[in-house]
Amino acid sequence: MLGLGKMGPRRRHGIEPTLAGVDGVPTPTPEDRFTFGLWTVGNRGRDPFGHEVRPPLDPVEAVHRLAELGAYGVNFHDDDLVPPGSSAAGRASILGRFRRALDATGMKVPMATTNLFSHPVFKEGAFTANDPAVRRYALAKTLDAIELGVELGAGVYVMWGGREGTECDAAKDVRLALDRYKEAVDLCCAHVRDRGYDLRFALEPKPNEPRGNLLLPTVGHALAFVERLEWPEMVGINPEFAHETMSGLSFHQAVAQVLWAGKLFHVDLNGQVPGKFDQDFRFASEGLKDAFHLVRLLEEARWDGMRHFDAHAYRTEDADGVWEFARGCMRSYLILREKARRFAADPEIAAALDEAMAGRIAEPTSPGGHAPDAIAAIRRGPHDPDGLGARGYGHERLDQLVTELLLGVR
C-alpha cells in the first residue's frame, strides 16, 4: 500500500485538526508574522461583472477572528477603517473601538496604506495625475493616512499606484510623470523625517489593471525608481506574488533580486495564474512551485518582516469560507516552510545539488579581483569549452526530487 502522506488520528476520527496541529501541520502563531489586510477578509466579492455577495465585515470582528486563527496583525487602507467623510468624533470612536480590539488580542498594525484608487478623483492618476489639484489631494490624503498608520504603530507604509498609468498613451508624458511620482514619494519622506517618525515606505509594483498599463509595472522598475529618490534608504519594495506573476515573471526570482538589493520591506502573498486578470487567490492555490521556492528563499534569508496575505476568498464563499481562506493561506505557508527545511536536510537533494555544482556559484570568477593581471590570467586561460560543455548538470533529477518533496513522497 502506497503511503503518500502521513497517517494520524485525523482521518480515523474525522475531527477538524487544523488549529490543533494534530495532522502535523503547525498551528499558526504570532511568531510566524502572518498579517492580513482588512480589505482581504473584508472583501465582499464584488467583481467587474457581479455585485457583492457577502455582508460588510466589522474591522473589530476581523481583528478577533484573525487573532484566533493565529495571525500577527492586520493592515488597512485609510478608508478600510475610517469611512471617507467621517466626522472627527466618528473617527475617534472608530479608532477607540479598533484599538481596544488590538489591545484585547495583542494584534498589531505593522503596515498602513492609502486608498488612492477608488474615488473618481483619481481616475486619471493620483501622484501622477496631470492635474496638480488632484496630485495635491492625493498627497494630503496620504499624509493623513500616514498619521493614522503611525498612530496605530505601523512601521511600513505601502504605496500601490493603482491609477498611475494610461490607456491613452498620448495623454501622459511618462518622464514627467516619473518626476511627479518621485516628487510625491520625496514629499512623503520629507514629512516623515520632519516628524521624526520611524516609518519606511514600500512601493508595490503592478503591470496593469485597473489601468491599461501602470507605471512601475514590475519589481525591477520599482527598484530602479527608488535609486533616483531623494532619500532612497527610506524606500523599498513590497513585491506581490500575483502582480509579478501576471506578467509571467518568476516571483521568487524577483524577491531574490529585491533581497540582493537590500530592499525587501514587505511582501504580499497570494495565488495567480500568468497572463490573466488580478486574481488574488489564496496563497499557494496557484503557482505552487514558485510559492515553495519563495518560502525557501524567505526562510533562508531569515526574513524577519511580515508575511502579508493580499488575497481574498472566492466569490462562491459566504463568511465561513472567508475564514477557511485565511486559514488556508497560513497553513500552506507553514507546510511549505516545513518542506523548505526538509529540502535543506535531504541527502539525495544535497547530492543532486552537488551534481549541479550549486554551491560553487559562491566562488568568485576572479579570485584576484579587478587587478589587470588577474583579468589577463583569466583571459589567457587555458579554457576547455568542449570539455566543459559535455558535462551534464542533473537538473532533471534535482527538479524531480523537488517535485516529489512537494508532493509529499519524500
Residue 109 or 237 having the CB closest to a copy of itself: 237
CB-nearer residue toward a copy of itself: 101 or 204: 204
- Sign (positive or negative) of CA dihedral 244, 72, 289, 296: positive
Q: Does 350 bind a copy of itself (CB under 8 A)?
A: no
Residue list 68-87, contact with a copy of itself (CB under 8 A): none
Q: Is the CB of 94 or the CB of 247 nearer to a copy of itself?
A: 247
Name the amino acid, one letter, at 188: C
- Of the listed pieces 8-16, 58-66, 98-106, 148-156, which binds a copy of itself according to CB under 8 A? 8-16
32, 77, 280, 312: which one is catalytic?
77
Q: Is 51 a catalytic residue?
A: no
Q: Are 125 and 134 in contact (CB under 8 A)?
A: yes
CB of 104 to a copy of itself, least distance (A): 27
Q: Please say whether the beta carbons of 268 and 254 come within 8 A.
A: no
Residues 6+ apart with CB under 8 A from 38: 57, 59, 62, 74, 75, 76, 77, 80, 81
Q: Distance between CA 171 and CA 129 in Å, rounded?
A: 10
**3-class SS at 393?**
coil
Q: Are 127 and 164 in contact (CB under 8 A)?
A: yes
* Contact with a copy of itself (CB under 8 A) among 145, 149, 285, 309: 285
| Positions in 161-220 near a copy of itself (CB under 8 A) | 162-163, 166-180, 183-184, 186-187, 190-191, 194, 205, 207-210, 212-213, 215-220
> Residue 291 and residue 337: Cα distance in Å, rounded?
10
Of 32, 78, 79, 80, catalytic: 80
From candidates 120, 198, 302, 304, binder to a copy of itself by CB under 8 A: 120
Residues 373-402 within binding reach of a copy of itself (CB under 8 A): 375, 378-381, 383-386, 388-402
Using CB under 8 A, count the residues that bind a copy of itself.
194
**Options 24-32, 63-71, 101-109, 148-156: segment touching a copy of itself (CB under 8 A):** 24-32
For residue 203, the minimal CB distance to a copy of itself (Å) is 11
Give the residue with the Cβ less far from a copy of itself, 64 or 191.
Answer: 191
3-class DSSP state of 34: strand
Instruction: State yes or no: is 64 an active-site residue.
Output: no
Going by C-alpha positions, the residue among 152, 195, 239, 166 that lies closest to residue 187 is 195
Contacts of 69 by beta carbon, 8 Å cutoff, 6+ apart? 19, 28, 323, 326, 327, 330
Residue 250 within binding range of a copy of itself, rule CB under 8 A: yes
